[in-house]
């Protein structure tokens, strides 16, 4: 017997690589900053840490190749500031993602943002493309005890939305992000825009581009948009 489609009340977007074409910026900045402390990072290294909090990335490299100065905190601040300035300068917003947000809103679904980036970067991105007031909930994994692939930030998003995680659909571009969303109990659509296609087996659906975020999402994930009926005061 065929099971009924799972109802979805909310869509939770990742930011880097989904809303904004920032992954090449992150890679260029990290290469430059880590080279300044004598560490050469490869594309494979950078892909492995996609979707991970920048402080966790810096900590990882400090454990492997310790340095004295500047401090880890200063390295984090330098990376974040350089990425934020590049995003603001290049206006790297993904116009196809804006259309995906329009599509979700048109269905009456709730919208949230759950990013590994610090709030400094989130504010920089939300200042672009008229995104400032599009999301009901905006969260950074920096406020959680653990970052992605831990599910904490997605669980917090569901809690803030007051929507059960199984009634949320996450949109991610990284393997770590997919693991985070799935561990939280959400349906997850992957959009691996960075050129990495391996490791997305846990995703419920893999799209070639965010432009494909349309009615195909529901048939591809066995879900159905089910906007919550607002309560009428009486």
Q: Which residues are catalytic?
A: 14, 16
Neighbouring residues of 200: CB distance < 8 A, sequence distance ≥ 6: 175, 178, 190, 192, 206
The Cα 148–Cα 151 span in angstroms is 6
The Cα 54–Cα 31 span in angstroms is 13
The Cα 94–Cα 80 span in angstroms is 20
The Cα 206–Cα 38 span in angstroms is 37
Cβ contact 234:115 at 8 Å? no
**113 three-class SS:** strand
The Cα 152–Cα 146 span in angstroms is 7
């Amino acid at each position: 017997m065929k099971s009924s489609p799972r109802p979805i009340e909310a869509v939770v977007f990742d930011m880097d690589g989904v809303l904004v074409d920032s992954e090449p910026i992150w890679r260029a900045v990290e290469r430059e900053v880590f080279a300044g402390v004598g560490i050469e990072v490869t594309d494979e290294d950078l892909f492995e840490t996609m979707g991970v909090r920048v402080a966790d990335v810096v900590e990882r490299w400090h454990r492997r190749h310790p340095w004295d100065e500047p401090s880890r905190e200063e390295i984090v601040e330098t990376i974040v500031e350089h990425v934020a300035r590049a995003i603001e300068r290049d206006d790297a917003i993904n116009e196809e993602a804006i259309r995906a947000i329009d599509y979700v809103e048109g269905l009456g679904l709730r919208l949230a943002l759950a990013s590994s980036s610090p709030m400094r970067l989130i504010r920089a991105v939300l200042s672009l493309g008229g995104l400032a007031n599009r999301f009901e909930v905006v969260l950074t994994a920096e406020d959680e005890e653990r970052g992605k692939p831990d599910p904490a930030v997605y669980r917090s998003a569901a809690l803030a939305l007051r929507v059960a995680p199984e009634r949320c659909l996450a949109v991610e571009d990284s393997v770590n992000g997919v693991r985070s969303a799935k561990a939280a109990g959400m349906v997850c659509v992957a959009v691996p825009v960075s050129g990495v296609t391996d490791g997305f087996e846990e995703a419920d659906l893999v799209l070639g581009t965010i432009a494909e975020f349309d009615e195909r999402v529901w048939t591809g994930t066995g879900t159905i948009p089910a906007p919550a009926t607002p309560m009428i005061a009486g």
